[in-house]
Amino acid sequence: MSKWIVTGGARLSGEVPAHGAKNAALPILAATILLSEPVELRSCPPLSDIEDMCAILRALGCTVARSGDTVRIDASTASHGTLPEALSHRVRSSVFLLGSLLSRFGEACAPYPGGCEIGNRPIDLHRYALERLGVIFCERDGRICARARKLCGAAIDLDYPSVGATENAILAAVRAEGETVISGAACEPEIADLARFLNACGFSVQGAGTPTVRIFGRPNGHGVTHKILPDRIVTGTYLIAGAITRGTVTVTDTDPALVGALLSKLEACGCAITVYGDAIRLSAPERVRELLSLETRPYPAFPTDLQAQMFALLSTARGTSVITENIFENRFRHAAELRRMGAQNEIRGRTAIIRGVKRLHGADVTAHDLRCGAALVLAGLGADGETVIDHAERVDRGYDRMDEAIRLLGGKIQRKEDFDLG
């Protein structure tokens, strides 16, 4: 276990690049199982979730090598469809491998996926989508086992725009016989990036990023070089860091079109936003204004993965803000930790009422999950005194060397392992 030691008071200023998106890289890594030729993925950051997925691929028999932010995968030597227990429990996105493994081997066996404990995330929609393609499921000893003698294209109507179910269905359908139409598909840009990768490999996926996706099954694909799209959550986190510290921050190497919902909320809070090319500049006021309503919803609405960070920012707003979390029912665990820092908030079911205080103060807090940890880092940067955040390693699941990025902007943050703390 490691800790962040954050000293508040500095106004962040300067430029910081966004790295490749974790939530785009993970399903693309899963997709490499479909191919018998090498693949090169660029802008693929060494996040713990991504490294765990690479380790899962190695356990399946693939050759995986990293050089900087480039990962090379040769899945021609993959030999079976049984996922390793411990690694699969650590990373929820291992579930994406079901579709790929079924397509490659006709069978797959996996433990129930892990990841952050942010609420109930059943895989019912994954199962439904794969069953429509001809997959038969059973459960043995707490594991999901699936088999398909032949995958056949089908009509898949999703009751909810699940990102994971949409991506799993695409991965299984690209080599299925015939045409698959997914209605009610999730529209996240990471799905569009997965489709760009698959199309570059010679498969046929049309309409990704819209509610209707058409896949025309083809028997084989070929190796490619693909650059992962910029991480919109990392982009948003560093912009909010500038806002909570009353600073001026520019995020480069990003795609402003992916964070429109966030930018409109930051402007409503009184921040000045300038967009140019692949960069976004934020200049913060001395104290942000409240937001009467912020609701998380599927893309292109405000993302649940930035809710905790905005919660931290609004804890220091001038008035009372209201946040409604519509995606996960257990994603306000940061609220109690922020109260340790002097925040005033009340949770009523899926709604948080936040009464802004002029200044937070440092405290000992715990990062219960990835985005909770990011929010507490931001809160510590904007607080008086020193904040100690337990379980810093959870932040590593989504941010590449966050401490270095913050120091680049003038923030004061150190990482220490338990044995260094005396």
CB 35 within 8 A of CB 221: yes
CA distance 51 to 397: 9
Residue whose entry in the numeric block shows the structure tokens 């939530």: 23
CA distance 103 to 220: 10
Structure tokens that stand for 210 in this block: 């819209």
CB 102 within 8 A of CB 146: yes
CA distance 387 to 404: 17
β pairing state of 63-67 and 107-111: unpaired
Q: What is the maximum alpha-carbon separation in the chain?
A: 63
Alpha-carbon distances of 185 from 22, 126, 154, 191, 258, rounded to whole Å: 20, 12, 14, 10, 18
| CA dihedral for 324, 91, 93, 150, sign (positive or negative) | negative
Residue type, 221: G
Is 62 known to be catalytic?
no
What is the number of residues in the chain? 422
The one catalytic residue in 44, 54, 62, 116 is 116
Residues in a beta bridge with 283: 248, 272
3-state DSSP assignment of residue 208: strand
Q: Is 91 left (phi over 0), alpha (psi -120 to 50) or beta?
A: beta
3-state DSSP assignment of residue 242: helix
CB 42 within 8 A of CB 17: no
CB 354 within 8 A of CB 345: yes
CB 280 within 8 A of CB 259: yes
Residue 228, burial from CB neighbour count under 10 angstroms (0-12, 13-18, 19+) = buried
CB 216 within 8 A of CB 170: no
| Residue 224 backbone phi and psi in degrees, to 5 | -145, 170
Structure tokens that stand for 304 in this block: 């649940």
Which positions are annotated as active-site residues? Answer: 116
